[in-house]
Amino acid sequence: MRTSPVWNPVQYGTYADERGRPYADLVGRVRAEDVRTVVDLGCGPGGLTVTLREVWPEATIVGIDNSPPMLEAAQQYADDRLTFELGDVREWSAPAGSIDVIVTNATLQWVPEQVDLLPGFVNALRPGGWLAIQIPGNGNAPSHSILRDLAATEPYAEYAKDTSLRPDVPGPAEYIDVLSAEGCVVDAWETTYFHVLQGDNAVLEWVKGTGARPVLQSLPDDLRVQFEAEYGARLAEAYPQRDYGTLLPFRRIFAVAQKKES
């Protein structure tokens, strides 16, 4: 199992409504019927996974994540139809044709070889089954370019040089090409959400729970405080707080694929 940031469910839960909207938009495009088995790969703290019980009330749902703190938080939602397991999306597999729906939301962006995993996901689907993917596509946004630039300077670079700062991700066209080749009918698109965030230095609070976490974790305590202050100051300039809040444009990429019956 790969080394991964130690995720904080509380920090990740900041702006939960905004983070949850793409999940609902993704699942809303899955037109599956008679669903009995669902897997949520990269389920995090479970607050979104639990919503699948209402979408597919007869299904057995399994959430899988490689973060013990996230899974501990997710256990509050567990019952006889919804369970959570420790696992790495890169190592996950299921018997061929055994799953009705696979959802993976805001997870594959951390996996450089994610395209190589897609055939295995499709193989796990029954004929007519569905694969639903959503990933952030904001790697060139100021929130991330500032992070990369600052992490590359001393004294931070010594510690952050081996930090994965999110690889390039596929666009909708690449998902269509790859999943069509695996015998799927594919609907792929991108959306830029314009989140209005409340609170002081809101974008810093957002990225502390996700994109900036690997860098912040790599630094010694004293440098982490220094880095966060400098990074926060730059973010506050790039994303100024207005009377109505702080505007965060956030591009996301979606792919929903149905495996052909034959």
What are the structural domains of the chain? 9-259 (3.40.50.150)
Q: What is the number of H-type helices and E-type strands within the chain? A: 11, 8
| C-alpha span between 55 and 225 (Å, rounded) | 43
Among 86, 95, 82, smallest CA distance to 38 is for 82
Among 136, 141, 143, smallest CA distance to 190 is for 136
| C-alpha span between 34 and 63 (Å, rounded) | 19
Cβ pair 188, 256 in contact under 8 A: yes
**DSSP secondary structure code for residue 211 in this structure:** T
| C-alpha span between 25 and 9 (Å, rounded) | 22
pLDDT tens, position by position, for the chain (262 residues)?
A: 334 555 444 544 467 888 899 999 999 999 999 999 999 999 999 999 999 999 999 999 999 999 999 999 999 999 999 999 999 999 999 999 999 999 999 999 989 899 999 999 999 999 999 999 999 999 899 999 999 999 999 999 999 877 756 657 999 999 999 999 999 999 999 999 999 999 999 999 999 878 888 899 889 999 999 999 999 999 999 999 999 999 999 999 999 999 999 7
**pTM value?**
0.91
